Structure 1
């Protein structure tokens, strides 16, 4: 296991974790639809409890994603969290609101009231996908930082990561992730909620949210493919190159196939759910397609001599999988630990299937002793 191999191996693992995280954002999408799909307290209780079985998976995946990034590419972690801490603190705050809301929403003598915690859930549902989408978009558009001789970080704006909101391309991906999360949530409710009214409204939301998702995703993909990308030159410096990400598509055909299969999976799950109302398996196709699509985008950003965290003010400060990785010893030791990942994934799959084997209805909720 050479250092070169391990750097690529760990970037693939990071890509898979990123794909799973984006898929699990359907929980946030469902929270943003709380008052759109739930017209009374019983329906909102049903929606919240359907999501309540899954919200911890999203938070856990976010933590594992961050931990894996820290261990395998520590310079990225220190650069991003050391400079762009504003956006990361907002993301963390959103998830703290979510955890508190699920825990206390239906607690007796809760002095803030149920509606307050539902508002907190909606804040997390709107803000988290937008902020995470904008943060990931900077992998392609760049951030305003410089690295010193000792890898100390100088952020050249006072916005500390929120400057990502001043780049139009970042909005394309942020909005694409947001509407995708809502689309996946609607597909999830069609499968897991046994309530005719909620399912009818969910079918409508699949259509209403998938259209802007496709629009903004195409705008983002078009922007990066026809724009400039940050490439490692033969002399080891970083330079802007025309159509770099499009070149990556052409020069990595296997990854291009993965990306296309992912896009087709998402579209198939959405289109069939719209055309065949009685079909409820759309979340599986769209979810798997989401993971593959995100993996494809991460590979485009990090492989083929590409800087995955570019500096827009000092290209030579840009981070690549080569100059930001841990040592050979660390990556090798962690690679043995990573062999348990399939076991963890198998457990998550088993737990998921056990909790969603039967769609939830009002009667099940009334008989449950554990309500969110």
Structure 2
């Protein structure tokens, strides 16, 4: 692996896995968040059927991101997990309840109302926990002697609550725009109406998180606002404006695919902004990606496996989405 900076390569791989998870699992978590707003019967069945072929495969990227972090950056894993244990437990329980509810609402129609509630609660809890974990990392983690040295509830703060709510709202926008693409009839009209409100709420939440982040640490402020770096970082909010304008325009014109792509664009730009704030730290303000990286021999060995596995996952995912590329009805895809 001569000529490669393996630490940067693995940081990019894990970043890609996390972003792929947010993009792919975000919209089906969003459908769970929006589920109570849909009418019992056809609308809810269409919403569930739209993600039935892909929802469990989407979570492959969560395993890839978490497993990759453990293997490639074990020090970061050993610090972040103890710092966010309650959030991780909540997220996993939310995903479990959501997955069980997804299957049992069809197999146990006598208790479908209960499983619908479990589906929504699991989705909200998982999304909120993911957003709060992001906030907990951004606000900084107390580290001493390469170990977590903070308290049990250090992750809980107004900022982490803000990022948690922002992720819930953003996932709901992804879910609404996905349903615009995939459903028809009353489900489509309801998703279009929800998407307008959620787009506004997502932009407000994104602006609030972006405004609060530079005040967490001087290092964040410096990266965003000092010359000459501001000439580059200013492109991120400008592109957010472009995506937002295009999103509202596409919703008003009745486009079906473009709103989803623009919502993904907002998430991608948020991810770029996160990278601008954090790099080169993986556990701010104490541990950089180079501090946390596994030995180069381990990274080389892991990369050999990743070169095989990641294209296979991408190929399977692309094939699944291609097969189920049409509109969905009450009984499945057309």
| Gap regions ≥5 residues in structure 1 | 230-240
1:5-20, aligned counterparts within 5 Å? 5-20=5-20
What is the aligned partner in structure 1 of residue 28 from structure 2?
27
Q: CA deviation at 1:23?
A: 1.6
1:137 paired with 2:135, answer: yes
Using the alignment, how far apart are the partners of 1:132 and 1:216 within structure 2? 15
What is the aligned partner in structure 2 of residue 175 from structure 1?
165
Using the alignment, how far apart are the partners of 2:4 and 2:227 within structure 1? 21
| Gap regions ≥5 residues in structure 2 | none
Are residues 242 and 202 of structure 1, via their aligned partners in 2, closer, same or farther at CA, if it must alter by over 3 Å? closer
Q: CA deviation at 1:345?
A: 1.7
Q: CA deviation at 1:52?
A: 2.0
1:153 paired with 2:148, answer: yes
Are residues 102 and 74 of structure 1, via their aligned partners in 2, closer, same or farther at CA, if it must alter by over 3 Å? same
Q: Which has the higher helix share?
A: 2
What is the aligned partner in structure 1 of residue 261 from structure 2?
284
For the aligned residue pairs, the C-alpha RMSD in angstroms reads 2.8
Are the equivalent residues in 2 in contact too, given 1:28–1:125 (CA < 8 A)?
yes
SS in structure 1 of the partner of residue 143 of structure 2: strand
Superposed CA offset, 1:155-208 (max 9, x none):
x3233xxx3232x222332222111111111110111112x2111111111111
- Give the counterpart of 1:245 among 223, 245, 258: 223
1:137-286, aligned counterparts within 5 Å? 137-143=135-141, 145-148=142-145, 151-154=146-149, 156-159=150-153, 163-166=154-157, 168-194=158-184, 196-229=185-218, 241=219, 243-246=221-224, 251=229, 259=236, 263=240, 266-267=243-244, 270-286=247-263
Using the alignment, how far apart are the partners of 1:336 and 1:131 within structure 2? 32
1:57-72, aligned counterparts within 5 Å? 57-72=57-72
Are the equivalent residues in 2 in contact too, given 1:26–1:182 (CA < 8 A)?
yes
TM-score (norm 2): 0.88
Are the equivalent residues in 1 in contact too, given 2:173–2:263 (CA < 8 A)?
no
1:289-328, aligned counterparts within 5 Å? 289-290=265-266, 292-303=268-279, 306-310=280-284, 318-328=286-296
Are residues 131 and 27 of structure 1, via their aligned partners in 2, closer, same or farther at CA, if it must alter by over 3 Å? same
Are residues 55 and 250 of structure 1, via their aligned partners in 2, closer, same or farther at CA, if it must alter by over 3 Å? farther
1:87-102, aligned counterparts within 5 Å? 87-102=87-102
TM-score (norm 1): 0.80
The aligned length equals: 332
Are the equivalent residues in 2 in contact too, given 1:176–1:213 (CA < 8 A)?
yes
Larger displacement relative to structure 2 (1-10 or 343-352)? 1-10
Q: CA deviation at 1:57?
A: 3.0
Are residues 116 and 201 of structure 1, via their aligned partners in 2, closer, same or farther at CA, if it must alter by over 3 Å? same
Q: CA deviation at 1:128?
A: 1.5
Using the alignment, how far apart are the partners of 2:228 and 2:222 within structure 1? 10
Superposed CA offset, 1:274-318 (max 9, x none):
22124443213322x145324413422442xx43322xxxx5xx2
Are the equivalent residues in 1 in contact too, given 2:91–2:127 (CA < 8 A)?
no
Are the equivalent residues in 2 in contact too, given 1:101–1:120 (CA < 8 A)?
yes
Using the alignment, how far apart are the partners of 1:292 and 1:130 within structure 2? 19
Are the equivalent residues in 1 in contact too, given 2:70–2:77 (CA < 8 A)?
yes
Using the alignment, how far apart are the partners of 1:351 and 1:204 within structure 2? 28
Are the equivalent residues in 2 in contact too, given 1:172–1:217 (CA < 8 A)?
no
